[in-house]
Amino acid sequence: MSQLPEYDELFKVVLVGNSGVGKSKLLARFTKEEFVQDSKATIGIEFAHKDIHIQNQLIRAQIWDTGGQERYRSITAVYYRDAVGALLVYDVSNRKSFNDLDHWLKEVRTATGEETRVLVIGNKSDLASTREVSLEEAARYAETNGLKVIETSAKDSSNVQEAFLGILNDIFNKHRPSPSVHSRGSKLSGKQNPPKKSGCC
């Protein structure tokens, strides 16, 4: 039996930012709705997906997680290849992770195309008493770089869906092909992009 792809478009989105900011927990929260304290960091790229609908299209959000490579400050080029979105994560209770956003933004800009959408995420918003970076400061940083920022908590789930859905909608709107183009999304994710879901309509 021939297998038809189960979705219309595939969006590859990468998570970047210092070790410990909560990238893996955000991914787990978005894809599985769970939060488990202190899971073990592993080495090697990992990814998970979640299918969502945007304007009658079934979008497969394929979210890549570093698996701990970021501890060495540099992530392999394969990680970024064909990414159409990047989530730049810092920890609101850790100033260094915020200061290091510049490093990650440069790496994303160097490794991906100009049109790659980037969203800044200030995670651990539940840690009010140990906060080191205000939303105002983060908003100024984001604006300076032509980006938006959203604060999340993978722990209490606040804004996690909003952050992921925000960048996916942004990608969708940015890359939306003209109505005359039939093979949707062929430029979105290179070789990974599947053919259209069905031959019809």
Binding site for Mg ion (CB under 5 A): 23-24
Instruction: Choose one: 15-23, 75-83, 100-108, 164-172; the region binding ligand GDP (CB under 6 A).
Output: 15-23
Select from 21, 105, 118, 171 the one that contacts ligand GDP (CB under 6 A): 21
Q: Report the distance separating Cα 109 and Cα 172, nearest Å.
A: 19
Smallest separation (angstroms) from ligand GDP to the CB of 97:
9
Q: What is the CA radius of gyration of the chain?
A: 17
Nearer to ligand GDP, 23 or 196 (CB): 23
Strand partners, 63: 13, 48
Cα(100)–Cα(12) distance, integer angstroms: 23
Residue number, 21 or 168, with CB nearest to ligand GDP: 21
| Furthest CA-CA distance within the chain | 57
Distances (CA, A) of 184 to 8, 20, 29, 175, 176: 8, 37, 29, 10, 8
Q: Which of 8, 9, 13, 24 lies at the binding interface for ligand GDP (CB under 6 A)?
A: 24
* Shortest Å, Cβ 123 to ligand GDP: 5
Which residues contact ligand GDP by CB under 6 A? Answer: 19-25, 37-38, 41, 123-124, 126-127, 153-155
